[in-house]
Amino acid sequence: MDQVDVDVLIIGAGPVGLYGAYYAGFRGMSVAVLDSLPEVGGQLAALYPEKNIYDVAGFPAVRGQDLVDALFEQAQQSKPTFLMEQRATTIEVHDDGVTVTAVASTPGDPGVTVHARAILIAGGMGTFEPKELPAGGDFAGRGLRYFVPRLADLAGHDVIVVGGGDSAVDWALALEPVANSVALVHRRDAFRAHEKSVSKLQESSVELITPYEVVAVDGADAVETVTLEHVESKETISRDVKTIVAAIGFLTDLGPMADWGMDLKRRRILVDRTQRTNLPRVFAAGDIAMYEGKVALISVGFGEAATAINHIAPLVNSRWKTTPGHSSDAL
């Protein structure tokens, strides 16, 4: 297996991992970034590249892929070693460092072993796959989809979005100016999405069909019609549709990391106020990290990454302090 020696290994090349890579370099550390996906950006790039994000400081709104591109450019200042399509499988904690072994997803690739003074796990939700629409049958890829990498692909379509969370509401609003028509089907009258998004939805031309759920999908070679059933009265209605976007959540899995001996709660890694796990020299930040009062925002994840890196610094060099000083001092 290939071997890499760095000060810090970051597991996860999503937004938080990319910012952590930049910040590690800013603090003078060598850094490697490991991810099971083929491209940087994590779940944001893989699932929501065209969605606008509204809660990142300095951006009234920023498209997901644009944010990833900017974070990647920023991270490049630290000259990180990117180890893509590599899934971390085992860990060994030593007195002076950590060894992580990863298995490659590409056939014939022997994988990699990384020796680091400390690691930062920024793996988002871990591995993920969408929850299947029960009535969808085998229509996946034939009019039924679980995310929309390119909004333009649905231009002129009659679209039904299924779900009541942030993703469903965001997709419905994003598709409103692109599709021929958009309807949002949810099995409850109330939505779980952000209040401001729900207000926009109620003011939009998106048709709200509640409380209904999809009970059948029909078509010859692709989706043509859906049957919706009222949750209480069991009355059914049928709609002609070209595309169904099922945004009903994801199944997540920490994979091999679940067996590393870290304290977990609801498939999240428990950390203290320094982002330190119960394992020496192992830290976590972003959606994968959990502590009392946690707020799951990208902007919070950036701060968590910086906190972790600053507390890793003395582990890399005993002369370094956790207090970083001001970035302008480095100019």
Q: Which residue has the tokens 């609003």?
A: 173
Q: What pairs with residue 185 in β-bridges? A: 162, 209
8/24 Cα distance (integer angstroms): 7
Q: Select from 304, 266, 311 the least CA-distant residue to 16.
A: 304
Ramachandran angles phi, psi of 7, nearest 5° = -75, -45
- By residue count, the chain amounts to 331
Alpha-carbon distance values, 82 to 4, 21, 101, 112 (Å) = 11, 10, 15, 12
Is residue 158 a known part of a binding site? Answer: no
Is residue 23 a known part of a binding site?
no
128 is in an annotated binding site: yes
DSSP letter for 149, please.
S
72 is in an annotated binding site: no
What's the one-letter identity of residue 116? A
User: Cα 87–285–308 angle (5° rounding)?
Assistant: 110
43 among annotated binding-site residues:
yes
Distance, in Å, from the CA atom of 276 to the CA atom of 283, rounded to the nearest integer, reads 4
Sequence-distant (≥ 6) Cβ neighbours of residue 273 within 8 angstroms:
291, 307
Place of tokens 């298995």: 103
287 a known binding residue? yes
Separation between Cα atoms, residue 39 and residue 52, nearest integer Å: 20
Annotated binding site for FAD: 35, 43, 48, 88, 128, 287, 328
Annotated binding site: 35, 43, 48, 88, 128, 287, 328
